[in-house]
Structure 1
């Protein structure tokens, strides 16, 4: 594809709320695990998002920012509430929004996937499976969820973050409500898809109400959770149709879960992208801008998805871990693509651990071209989680 064809990636886009993103390339949400163990941003985290901003992205999304420390995904998560170190969050908002970039917070609640050493796993229904046990949320706890998400969103706005993304994908709490495998409630939050998606729509409406009409609110959804008997494409399209009538500015399409033993789309060895065909179906259900995240490895793939109408924005994650300046590189004449590592073994969670430790290298400006052994990465990742779990407990209690 010639250089003129690649211009599609560098056209601004105006969101329904009126905010303009400078191009079509986004740093998709990832759990960078760089919090200080008490839920506050670190200097390393500030540096990481500064690098992505200077690398040319239109927007970066910070993965899994918790409003409630009792349902955290990992002890490196950020926690934004009245007890947070707000000056550190303000510093992160400033640093990550340089060079015309936006910095958004992904509003998270791990639910059944809350990290047991530091959390209280609870989901839509009680679960007792190997590697995954949780209690059921009470009805009153469910009714509190929209307000909880909204409280974090309004704090993000006041602290200078450019927008928020509601996390309803990858097996976290709102995704659990959508799945008939994990939502077996017999009240008005369980049953058919119209009931299972009720809490998602209530969260969207409450967040929009508190942040006002001119602030970006996105949502991340699974095309499917890639589990037999779980959330399927036809149900995802029903939800997208319903979201078309809400105040959402952007629908971020991904897929898969991080439940123990489940297949993760991001750990696929395929060439990607994963969800562009689903996005074409979603186009028929909504006028909202669509972002497609997962498996984009080359400039031609990203350009084709935008110029062909499948996506309005491209969510890049691991590609930007390999090259944080990739948007600038793709805009240049060379347009080089990142070199993805080839692993001789891919143990469960190992690829995620490798990329997470690579993020640490980026944040400390010490990345190299050497591919770290995946078992070494797993060891370092787990050891850091153990150290931060101790800090977390001292900050938030057991």
Structure 2
């Protein structure tokens, strides 16, 4: 009798590393660093709750490789000024209960609010659109010297993550951040070796991967979060994405997580997703089924999963090797244990809106409302699924106002 693979089944990441089950906590914005952008007790408590909640692998919220390039005020930063003892405590709490914990590495590129930077950087000087123009300054194009320095930063941070006890790293190459900007022909309009055809546009990601691998060795897991598509006219598309995966596998990548969209087209939170896709639960499952035809490493599909039945279905059909969960874990840290214990278990997320679409967009409600839930867990409280969207928006703007004032005073 052959055993049936389910979300409860273990998975070999490589010859040295295995994960106890197929549930993968995908990265979320936490906003729980301190004023020096170091991990706080709230952040450590949050990850301990997730580790005890039963997920096989936790990926941290994006850890920025440059404290002068923050996507949000309270991003965690790992650099020469960081207190590594705090990172070791974070890794220790996150790896309780036999849990793998990987640090997600990121640079925001131009996705930096203007109150944090009036001069963000990007592959090319292409401003954000889609109603984001007032909140994000137009970037300047990076020089080649700056590009090479950022690549070195990714490698240095990876080595420190390994030193601190994290069991892997993930390169954030999705959601419109810097690596994704290099991949996109819409965002990247360079005419040097870093832009133009796909070979050149993927060069930044490949050089980051190669530098990381040289820094951490062959056995330490290195994954990538990659857009299936940007869902943006002239942007990174499915054909490009498949080709990038092929090259990354040849280079030795250990795991690929699939998502999609960016700040302008936020498909990763279900914006613009068709009704038929919503019924299947996974936003990017159609793409995953295409990708699996060429996959030789584990594939994680993140976005839209809400029931154990759909998750097990995706695993059993081979569409996904792991199931990525993000926002559901902000409302129930113990969800993995419940999904594994009961194959009929499911949860639904609330529909969030103040009733004023422009305000929802400006406050990034689909992100910040969940950040407030994570803060509650970090304080040792239970999540509050009925938290008022107006209260969440008010908290967001009060927080941003305080940060902006502190920045001016500095």
Structures share fold, TM-score greater than 0.5: yes
Instruction: Give the TM bin, normalised by the shorter chain.
Output: over 0.9
Contact kept in structure 2, 1:76 and 1:385, CA below 8 Å: no
Partner of 2:352: 343
Partner of 2:285: 276
Sort the Cα spacing of 1:296 and 1:184 in 2 relative to 1 into closer, same or farther, 3 A.
same
Contact kept in structure 2, 1:37 and 1:392, CA below 8 Å: no
- In the alignment, does 2:302 pair up with 1:293? yes
3-state SS of paired residue (2:6): helix
- In the alignment, does 2:53 pair up with 1:45? no
Pairwise mapping of residues 309-348 of structure 1 onto structure 2 (< 5 A)?
309-333=318-342, 335-343=344-352, 345=355, 347-348=360-361
Per-residue CA deviations over 1:342-397 (Å, capped at 9, x if unaligned) read: 33546222121211111111211222555112122122123223434556788xxx
Sort the Cα spacing of 1:386 and 1:89 in 2 relative to 1 into closer, same or farther, 3 A.
farther
3-state SS of paired residue (1:106): strand
Contact kept in structure 2, 1:118 and 1:393, CA below 8 Å: no
Partner of 2:200: 195
Partner of 1:384: 399
Pairwise mapping of residues 58-137 of structure 1 onto structure 2 (< 5 A)?
58-119=56-117, 120-128=119-127, 130-131=133-134, 132=136, 133-137=138-142
3-state SS of paired residue (1:113): coil
Query: 1:15, CA displacement in angstroms?
Result: 1.1
TM-score normalised by length of structure 1:
0.93
Sort the Cα spacing of 1:112 and 1:17 in 2 relative to 1 into closer, same or farther, 3 A.
farther
Per-residue CA deviations over 1:106-153 (Å, capped at 9, x if unaligned) read: 001001112332344100001245344111100111122221100000
3-state SS of paired residue (1:83): coil
Partner of 2:371: 356
Instruction: From 209, 212, 215, give the equivalent of 2:217.
Output: 212
Per-residue CA deviations over 1:204-262 (Å, capped at 9, x if unaligned) read: 11101110011111000000011111111111111111111012110010000013xx3
Q: Distance in 2 between matches of 1:36 and 1:310?
A: 40
Cα RMSD for the two superposed structures: 1.9
Q: Distance in 2 between matches of 1:128 and 1:97?
A: 40
Contact kept in structure 2, 1:167 and 1:221, CA below 8 Å: yes
TM-score normalised by length of structure 2:
0.90
Q: Distance in 2 between matches of 1:8 and 1:23?
A: 8
Contact kept in structure 2, 1:322 and 1:339, CA below 8 Å: no
Sort the Cα spacing of 1:370 and 1:245 in 2 relative to 1 into closer, same or farther, 3 A.
closer
Q: Distance in 1 between matches of 2:160 and 2:373?
A: 30
Partner of 1:266: 269
Q: Structure 2: which 5+ residue stretches go unaligned?
A: none
Q: Distance in 1 between matches of 2:290 and 2:408?
A: 45
Q: Which is further off, 60-69 or 19-28?
A: 60-69
Contact kept in structure 2, 1:253 and 1:292, CA below 8 Å: yes
3-state SS of paired residue (1:30): coil
Residue-pair matches, total: 389
Query: 1:335, CA displacement in angstroms?
Result: 4.6
Contact kept in structure 1, 2:21 and 2:55, CA below 8 Å: yes
Query: 1:83, CA displacement in angstroms?
Result: 0.6
Q: Distance in 1 between matches of 2:402 and 2:113?
A: 14
Per-residue CA deviations over 1:62-112 (Å, capped at 9, x if unaligned) read: 121012111111011001011112111111011111001111110010011
Q: Structure 1: which 5+ residue stretches go unaligned?
A: none
